[in-house]
Structure 1
Amino acid sequence: MVFHFHPRGYVSGREDFLIYMGRDKHENEDLIRFGLPVDVWFHVDNLSSAHVYLRLPEGVNLEDIPADTLEDCAQLVKQNSIQGCKLNNVDIVYTPWNNLKKTNGMEIGQVGFHDAKRVLKYKVDRKVNEIINRLEKTRQELTPDFQAEQEAYMSQARAAKREEERVKRAEEKAAKEENKRLRDLKGYKHIMKDELMISNKELASKYASAEEMEEDFM
């Protein structure tokens, strides 16, 4: 089971930010394994806590997360930390899901990072009950198939990439053909210079002169 929450500014029926959280450390393992590239992972720094994820709308980057949504995620992960919920000035770490690193020997729910430079920090000064209460009112308990969701997303991503590459190839082909056409036109212009052009009248006159010359020799 996974818990879904809607951050501030969420509008039903529109592609928007979604916050979700595993029920326990065993479910966290599934979330670590079957997350999506558009997911951002949140955790209390140096303390045990729930694993909270923020699913970004397509085209939105880590740096684009609104301040209100970032605060919602940080407050929620702090609230779901046995030690962190009692403390002030708590550091929250967050990073893209694909930066999470799981190696043999790690405990259940434990993760590392591929690149420490991609791990950001956010400080929560204190618990804000108003935020927690608002998020709790939006909570839904769902039982999604994480693996199926990931496979469907990856399949769509591959199809979109193939279509993007097809369009790119078509544009490159069209550009080459247009360049060739322009080169050909330029070549024709070189051949058909005004000073080398002969009008029909001039051509007829030349033929007439040639005939007269032939008659003179006969």
Structure 2
Amino acid sequence: MVYYFTSNVVSPAAFIYVGKDKFERSVPLRIPNDPRSPSNRTSSTAHVYVRLREGETWEQIPEKLLEDCAQLTKANSIEGNKKDNITIIYTPWANLQKDGSMATGQVSFHNPKLVKKVLVRVRENPIVNRLNKTRVEKFPDLRAEKEEYLKKKRNDERKVRDQQKEKDKLEKREREQLKWQKAHAYDDMFSEENMEASNNQNRDADFLDDFM
């Protein structure tokens, strides 16, 4: 089970996901936000994920959207929700590391340098209440969602490639046409008919008399 939230602090709206309990913390979406700082490692919380929008990187998440994610993370932490000045860390999904020796919901990171922190001083009820109004509970088929996403991505990339090929073909045709025009620019001027018209031998016998 996953809770879906909609954040309208950005346009287009962003989608945030929260696993209902610790057994669903490893939902493989894009950016987890985990409030377990060194002083708060035992806090029970669901991971929060935000789906990156087209062309956006994890380092470019707008501040307002990051604040929404951080507030949801705090609100969904049993211990963290009771405390102020909670440190939340977030990282790209691909940077999560999980092995069989870890407890359920526990994760580590492949590269600690790809981890950022955000401080949540207090719970902002207006933010949490606004997001809770958009909450939808779903039982998603994450594998099917991923396959559908990858299929759409491949189709979009193919369209871009096809458009580029068509553009390249048109530009090549225009270059060839321009090259041909330059190469044959004087064809009409030196045609047999024009050469005869400009030859003095074909002029009237009275031409020189008229000139004199």
Q: What TM-score does the superposition give when structure 2 sets the normalisation length?
A: 0.76
Secondary structure of the structure 2 residue equivalent to 1:6: strand
Structure 2 Cα separation of the partners of residues 70 and 159 of structure 1? 30
Q: 1:183 to 1:112 in 2, by over 3 A?
A: farther
Secondary structure of the structure 1 residue equivalent to 2:24: helix
Deviation at 1:149, TM superposition (A): 0.9
The count of corresponding residues between Structure 1 and Structure 2 is 197
Question: What are the equivalent positions in structure 2 for 1:1-218 lying under 5 Å apart?
Answer: 1-9=1-9, 16-29=13-26, 31-32=27-28, 35=29, 39-46=30-37, 47=41, 48=43, 49-103=45-99, 105-189=101-185, 192=187, 198-203=194-199, 205-206=200-201
Structure 1 Cα separation of the partners of residues 177 and 115 of structure 2? 52
Deviation at 1:123, TM superposition (A): 0.9
Deviation at 1:65, TM superposition (A): 3.5
Q: 1:150 to 1:179 in 2, by over 3 A?
A: same
Query: Unaligned 5+ residue runs, structure 1?
Result: 210-218
Quick check: which one's helix share is greater?
Answer: 1
Q: What TM-score does the superposition give when structure 1 sets the normalisation length?
A: 0.74
Look up the equivalent residue of 1:154 and give its one-letter code: L
Structure 2 Cα separation of the partners of residues 100 and 19 of structure 1? 18
Deviation at 1:77, TM superposition (A): 0.6
Structure 2 Cα separation of the partners of residues 2 and 170 of structure 1? 43
Q: 1:199 to 1:105 in 2, by over 3 A?
A: farther
Q: 1:170 to 1:75 in 2, by over 3 A?
A: same
Secondary structure of the structure 2 residue equivalent to 1:41: strand
Percent of residue pairs bearing the same amino acid type:
38
Contact 2:196 2:202 in 1 (8 A): no
Contact 1:41 1:52 in 2 (8 A): yes
Contact 1:41 1:95 in 2 (8 A): yes
Look up the equivalent residue of 1:3 and give its one-letter code: Y
Q: Which residue of 2 aligns with 1:216?
A: none
Deviation at 1:71, TM superposition (A): 1.4
Deviation at 1:83, TM superposition (A): 3.1
Deviation at 1:163, TM superposition (A): 1.5
Structure 2 Cα separation of the partners of residues 66 and 147 of structure 1? 28
Deviation at 1:64, TM superposition (A): 4.8
Calculate the aligned-residue CA RMSD, in Å: 3.0
Contact 2:95 2:114 in 1 (8 A): yes
Deviation at 1:199, TM superposition (A): 4.5
Q: 1:104 to 1:165 in 2, by over 3 A?
A: farther
Structure 2 Cα separation of the partners of residues 76 and 20 of structure 1? 10
Look up the equivalent residue of 1:79 and give its one-letter code: A
